[in-house]
């Protein structure tokens, strides 16, 4: 069965793909390295101070995200930042100014672009990640029980809870039990669809690449159609008009106003 699409998660996935396309462009990657080089120690210090604050005030990612959103949006005076973090950020202002110039130059003028690049620089500064892939990895299996602690939005439905008694194995085979669980999962998925949840757009990666080819590599819609960027989904050579529509929708999805380049 295909994945389902929660709007905020799909938007985040689209942004991740776009960041990956930028980070894997050799010229952009080189310029980003030059921007952060003078501030790498300050970035590393802020990262370590952030990890320390998490340890001192245990909270889930969802809780921290909500505190951050409310504080930055002016809804709360509870700051997610420690005194040491604020000091670090003040020292990094020239770095943020340089990032702003970089994203403008590269038509990466999304309100979230600078903060996203900063987070990547943070993680790379302490060797949490080495590089950014175009497509997020699914190799590591996340335990089902922790998803509600990770995702910062209320779930569209209460969790599906299935309990299997030890006595079940004395009456049914494991295959029988698996079939029963599968039926309940199917029913739960149908309930999600009934409240308006759609399937995940399989064309998202292809549209992101079209966007990047058009705006960053300056290729025309006709050129993109002719080269047939194909990811295994949809036609290899779509009409230029359809490519243009897809690019516009992708711009809207990731929050980039391309009308004023």
Domain ranges for the chain: 25-125, 157-196, 204-260
DSSP string for 4-61: EE-HHHHHHHHHHHHHHHHHTSHHHHHHHHHHHGGGHHHHHHHHHHHHHHHHHS---H
The rounded distance, in Å, linking the Cα atoms of 160 and 155 is 11
pLDDT of 219: 94
The rounded distance, in Å, linking the Cα atoms of 60 and 150 is 7
Question: Model confidence over 23-59: pLDDT tens digits?
Answer: 999 999 999 999 999 999 999 998 888 878 766 666 6
First to last CA, the chain: 40
Nearest to 131 by CA among 197, 47, 61, 33: 33
> How many Å is the Cα radius of gyration of the chain?
22
Tokens 């299997």, residue located = 164
Q: Which two tokens stand for residue 118?
A: 């900063």
Decide if 195 contacts 213 (C-beta within 8 A): no
pLDDT of 135: 57
pLDDT of 175: 95
Q: Which residues of the chain have pLDDT under 50?
A: 138, 232
Residue 176, CA atoms < 13 Å, CB-side half-sphere = 7
Neighbours of 157 (CB within 10 A): 12
pLDDT of 233: 53
136: left (phi over 0), alpha (psi -120 to 50) or beta: beta
Q: Which two tokens stand for residue 202?
A: 């399989």
The rounded distance, in Å, linking the Cα atoms of 261 and 156 is 37
- In a 3-state reduction of DSSP, which class is residue 4? strand
The rounded distance, in Å, linking the Cα atoms of 109 and 141 is 33
> Maximum Cα–Cα distance for the chain, whole Å?
68
Q: Which DSSP state fits 145?
A: G
Decide if 239 contacts 225 (C-beta within 8 A): yes
Q: Which two tokens stand for residue 259?
A: 């009308």
Decide if 114 contacts 255 (C-beta within 8 A): no
């Amino acid at each position: 069965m295909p994945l389902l699409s929660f709007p905020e998660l799909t938007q985040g996935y689209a942004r991740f793909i776009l960041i990956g396309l930028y980070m894997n462009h050799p010229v952009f990657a080189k310029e980003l390295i030059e921007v952060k080089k003078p501030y790498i120690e300050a970035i590393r210090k802020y990262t370590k101070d952030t990890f320390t604050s998490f340890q001192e005030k245990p909270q889930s990612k969802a809780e921290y995200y909500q505190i951050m959103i409310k504080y930055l949006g002016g809804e709360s005076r509870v700051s997610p930042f420690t005194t040491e973090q604020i000091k670090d950020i003040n020292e990094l202002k020239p770095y943020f100014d340089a990032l702003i110039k970089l994203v403008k130059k590269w038509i990466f003028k999304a309100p979230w672009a600078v903060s996203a690049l900063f987070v990547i620089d943070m993680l790379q500064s302490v060797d949490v990640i080495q590089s950014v892939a175009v497509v997020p990895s699914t190799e590591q299996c996340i335990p089902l029980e922790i998803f509600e602690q990770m995702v910062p939005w209320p779930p569209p439905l209460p969790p599906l809870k299935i309990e299997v008694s030890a006595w079940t194995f004395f009456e049914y085979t494991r295959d029988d039990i698996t079939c029963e669980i599968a039926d309940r999962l199917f029913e739960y998925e149908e309930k999600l669809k009934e409240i308006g949840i759609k399937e995940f757009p399989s064309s998202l990666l292809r549209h992101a690449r079209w966007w990047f080819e058009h705006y960053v590599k300056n290729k025309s819609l006709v050129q993109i159609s002719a080269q047939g960027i194909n990811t295994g989904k949809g036609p290899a050579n779509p009409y230029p008009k359809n490519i243009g529509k897809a690019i516009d929708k992708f711009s809207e999805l990731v929050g980039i106003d391309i009308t004023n380049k």
